[in-house]
Structures are given as structure tokens and as C-alpha cells.
Amino acid sequence: MRSNPSSSASGNNTIQVGVYFHVIAEDTSVAGGYIPAPRLTQQLSVLNKAYNPHGINFTLAANATYTVNKNWARDRDTNSMKRKLRKGGYGDLNIYFQTALGGGSGTGSGGGGGALGYCWLPAGPPKAGSSTFLQDGCTILHSTVPGGSSQGFNLGHTATHEVGHWFGLLHTFQGDSCDSKKNGGGDFVADTPVQSTATNGCPVGKDSCPGLPGLDSIHNFMDYSMDSCYEAFSPGQATRMRSMWDKYRAGAARGSNSRQRPTSPKMI
């Protein structure tokens, strides 16, 4: 294990993030969630292709862990799972690949209630070993990695979306209202047009707030579009990610004894 390499990443310096992949499967079959190593390599490449243009780089901090545990794979008893598997500090990214989310059953592409992934927004930094520290990270449906079986969502961008939350980004449709950005609300990013509904598929020209400037950000990684529709983050989102990193995660070395802050919300 190593400490997070990004002790500082202000200004235009590249943010270096250590990544720990954890595969939690029901059995040793691909259908049971046992992701082949080459697909994890592809997943890391997808993340870097999306984030490198904004000065963020991901490198594996250790070999991926593989655990066969049906309850954990189905998103049950996650506190015990993360207590055993989580590695690194608050500036390191732990990604857990599971067969179902929300405590659901089976290995279908929808998982528990159709969720493809979830992640925790930054807060703190919390004290090492606290509940906020342990829950930090992203949980991803195994079939959304490149080459997976989730039709329309198997290019690896579920992880791209969820890691955006890890960096503090909210949905482009945050607030679900054309009034969401009044008084500084919404996604707190000025250059994403106001959007009142999540996107399904890739509907070119979608405009959920026709009385306001701009079309919906269907190509933005923080919408709910299908993977092939995704293209980029906005410059404003890149600025917010760097600001949130500097505020919460930069310099958060493994084993930090900083005091615990309020629990961060979970984002899907």
C-alpha cells in the first residue's frame, strides 16, 4: 500500500489520484461479477480519457482485489465489506464493482432497482476509520465496465459519472426544476444550461427548459444519458472538481487524524 501521491494539486498542476479496484463477485464466473483483469485496465483508460483533458490522472495504487461473497456482491452489509477492503487515504479512490446495487438480487444489468452506480460526495476530510471515511468511494455495477453486458451502458462511463460525484460534481439536472439555479442552486456550475429532467438515451435537441438559454447537456458526463452519448465535462465542472479536490482531498494522507466532519450525501 502507498500513500496518496497527490499531496498538493493547486492551480494548473495535474491531480494524481491513486485508484484501488475491488471486484466483489457472487462466484468466479463473468456473469457472477468476476470481471476479467483486461476489462479493469480498459476501465482505467476510460477514466483517464475523460479526466486527463482537465488535469486529472488516475493510476492503480495496487493490484485489484477479488472477493467472492454473495451478500457483499449484492450490496448488503457494505460497512463490513468496506471495513475489510478499503485502502489508502481520503485522496485515494476506491471503486467497488458489484453484481447488484441497493441490496437487490441477481446479476441483471439493472441491479437493485435499476441503479448502475453510486458514489459519496466529499466531506471533511474525515478521521481515518470513521464511518464517513470508510463509506467514501464509488460502487459500480459490474456489467457497466467496457465490454460488459449492460446494453447502452457498457462503455465504462458509469464509473466516469460516479467519479464526478467523488470530485464533488452534481447532476446537470440537479433540483429537477427550471428554477433550480436561482439563488445559486442547481449544480453550482455556471456554464451548464438549466435542465429540469434527467436524460434517457441520446435525444439530440432535448430542451427541458425552453424558456431559458441553452439545450440540455445530454453529452455531459453528469447527465443520465447512455454511454455512447457522453462526451465531456464542461470547463466550469473542471474548475469545480479542482476546487473541491483542493478543499477536501488534496493532502489527505492515509491514516489522517483530522477530525470527523458531517457525513457526506450519497449520489447516484
The 10s digit of each residue's pLDDT in 214-244 is: 999 999 999 999 999 999 999 999 999 999 9
The 10s digit of each residue's pLDDT in 60-85 is: 999 999 999 999 999 999 999 999 99
Q: What is the mean pLDDT of residues 89-105?
A: 87
| Domain presence at residue 26 | yes
Domain count, the chain: 2
% of the chain surpassing 90 pLDDT: 80
Identify whether residues 39 and 131 lie together within a single domain: yes
Identify whether residues 253 and 142 lie together within a single domain: yes
Identify whether residues 205 and 109 lie together within a single domain: no
Confidence (pTM): 0.88
Whole-number pLDDT of residue 148: 98
Find, among 200, 194, 191, the residue nearest to 177 by Cα.
Answer: 194
The 10s digit of each residue's pLDDT in 131-158 is: 999 999 999 999 999 999 999 999 999 9
Residue span of the structural domain in which 215 resides: 172-232
Identify whether residues 73 and 183 lie together within a single domain: no
Q: What is the largest CA-CA distance in the chain?
A: 53
Q: What average pLDDT does the chain have? A: 88
The 10s digit of each residue's pLDDT in 192-222 is: 999 999 999 999 999 999 999 999 999 999 9
Whole-number pLDDT of residue 140: 98
Identify whether residues 115 and 201 lie together within a single domain: no
Identify whether residues 208 and 241 lie together within a single domain: no
Q: Which of 75, 136, 162, 227 is catalytic?
A: 162
- Whether 162 is catalytic is yes
Assign residue 73 the CATH number of its domain.
Answer: 3.40.390.10
**Is the pLDDT at 113 greater than 60, yes or no?**
no
The 10s digit of each residue's pLDDT in 30-58 is: 999 999 999 999 999 999 999 999 999 99
| Domain presence at residue 95 | yes
Identify whether residues 96 and 163 lie together within a single domain: yes
Q: In angstroms, what is the C-alpha Rg of the chain? A: 18
Identify whether residues 97 and 216 lie together within a single domain: no
Identify whether residues 156 and 253 lie together within a single domain: yes
| Domain presence at residue 3 | no
| Domain presence at residue 58 | yes
- Residue 266 pLDDT grade (very low, low, confident, very high; cuts 50, 70, 90): confident
Amino acid at 202: C
**Is the pLDDT at 29 greater than 70, yes or no?**
yes
| Domain presence at residue 5 | no
Identify whether residues 111 and 26 lie together within a single domain: yes
55: left (phi over 0), alpha (psi -120 to 50) or beta: left
% of the chain surpassing 70 pLDDT: 87
